[in-house]
Amino acid sequence: MRKFILFILFSAFANSFKKGIWQEYGFNIVFKTFLFSLGLLLMVLGLVWGALQIMNFGYPNRMTALFCASQKSLATGVPMAISIFAAASLNSTDSLPELGIVLLPLMFYHPLQLFIGGLIVGHFSKKQG
């Protein structure tokens, strides 16, 4: 399954390079998308933690919700994006050159959630130990 998802990602980005989408938008869209993805992840983590603290949930429940609420995966996001945007390719002969741009936020969000999750686990494990 992982190889199939990686193939879809590779195909989407290769096709968008072939069609010149990245030259049209430039590095600016990549940087803005990274910042947006980071901001979205931090906002969701903060909202979940704060809301559950206000509702007096216990520490184990808050930790569980913190990691479950913000988690999005390439394994679910890529097929969803393809199915949602597949209708666009029905009217043209192109195979979605803009799919690389559609998948860009997910390409940043997924590794960011792993990295920040690792930092959070390290912080809370020091706090507990």
* Maximum average pLDDT range among 34-48, 91-105, 115-129: 34-48
Q: What is the pLDDT of residue 101?
A: 80
The mean pLDDT of 63-78, rounded to a whole number, is 77
The Cα–Cα gap between 90 and 121 comes to 45
Q: What is the mean pLDDT of the chain?
A: 79
For residue 10, CA distances in Å to 1, 6, 90, 109 come to 14, 6, 21, 17
CB within 8 Å of 47: residues ≥ 6 apart: none
Q: Locate the domains of the chain by residue range.
A: 2-124
Confidence band (pLDDT; 50, 70, 90) for 42? Answer: very high
pLDDT exceeds cutoff 80 at 90: no
pTM: 0.74
